[in-house]
Amino acid sequence: MAAAKSLGDGMISVWRQALAEGAEKVEVEGESYPVTFTRAKKLRVVRFQWKSYDLDGIEQNPQTRSRWAELARQGKRVMQFSYQHRYVANVCDGKLLRYPAWKSLELPE
């Protein structure tokens, strides 16, 4: 897998490997990270590093009451990404959406 050019590219790559391809491990920047599952809801989770940033990706829980959960119930594949315990972006069917926390945490474009 080629190195991600940007953090957003890295998130899309993690989403693709974990949700679209169903991989047991994802590769980011030449490192391999396991895809695990939450105990209660069996949602996929990936803890990974992009450059010096420690990030978490978690599959959207379709049972919540959000617009992203509604999309997940419709069969869309959604993964939320957090940095320093704040949601910074999501990827829905391969498209990245940055949240305001992305800028406030000064993550690179």
CA distance 67 to 100: 17
CA distance 47 to 14: 10
Say what the pTM is.
0.93
Q: What is the pLDDT of residues 45-103, one digit of tens each?
A: 999 999 999 999 999 999 999 999 999 999 999 999 999 999 999 999 999 999 999 99
| Domain limits, the chain | 7-104
Type of residue found at 31: E
What was the pLDDT predicted at 108? 94
CB-based contact 22:1 (threshold 8 Å): no
Residue 29, sorted as left (phi over 0), alpha (psi -120 to 50) or beta, turns out to be: left
* pLDDT band, very low/low/confident/very high, at 2 (cuts 50, 70, 90): low
